[in-house]
Copies of this chain bind each other. A is one copy, B any other.
Amino acid sequence: MNPLEIPEIVIRRLPLYLRTLNLMAAQGQTVTSSQEIGERLGISSTQIRKDLSYFGEFGKQGTGYNIEYLREQLRQILQVSQRWKVALIGAGDLGRAVLRYSGFEEGGFEITAVFDKDEQKIGRQIGKLKVLDIAKLHEVIREQGICIAIIAVPASEAQEVADALVNAGIKAILSYAPLPLRLPSNVQVHYIDPVIGLQSMTYYLSPEQI
């Protein structure tokens, strides 16, 4: 099937399945079922089977899914069997917290360059990386062949940074800045916004809890 014919909402659930399988594998489990994955995620087992059926047959009726096999298939579908290089823009509190996040490598990512415009931060060592001058953004991204970036700068600077990233050849942006970015249609974007997460829960709270 043409990759673009699969609904985006299906694609967005696959990383959740993969994370659940990774956790099961870490706990020594080798086999699972759509029921079990569904219970962990609050998604129906029918939905999970339907989502996976876009990509093939991954389990047998009655015997469930081999976790290792399904993980590898999902990694291939999501193209995270290899490791993607990622540029991080912003070395403030948020940027440092992102750098310390421990799940990137297992997820298929490695932050290989961090940039800031603040002269007090440029040159500082954070973990394995030295903070680079944002003036070198284009050069370093081209040199390293990076096509994914994380924006962790204040909202007022986010669009300018995004423009520079697009100009340097970046094709996917994860943004922590609380505003929509203007981007060419061939550049993917995903926003990390705590308010969106909170607002999707308040609907279910009783009004008397306010």
Contact = CB atoms under 8 A, between A and B. Distances in A.
A40 B86 CA distance: 26
B201 A188 contact: yes
B210 A84 contact: yes
Given A15-B196, A93-B96, A202 B79 contact: yes
A147 B205 CA distance: 9
Nearest to A19: B196
Nearest to A103: B178
A191 B80 CA distance: 20
B179 A108 contact: no
A96 B100 CA distance: 14
Given A84-B202, A93-B96, A194 B210 contact: no
Contact of A195 (B100, B103, B171): B103
A14 interface: yes
A199 to B, nearest CB: 4
Closest 9 CB pairs between A and B?
A107-B195, A94-B97, A15-B199, A190-B197, A188-B201, A172-B201, A93-B97, A103-B178, A15-B196
Interface of A: 3, 8-9, 11-12, 14-16, 18-20, 23, 40, 42, 77-80, 82, 84, 86, 92-94, 96-98, 100-104, 106-109, 147-148, 150, 155, 171-172, 174, 178-180, 188-205, 207, 209-210
7 contacts: A8-B42, A77-B203, A78-B199, A93-B97, A108-B195, A148-B205, A192-B197
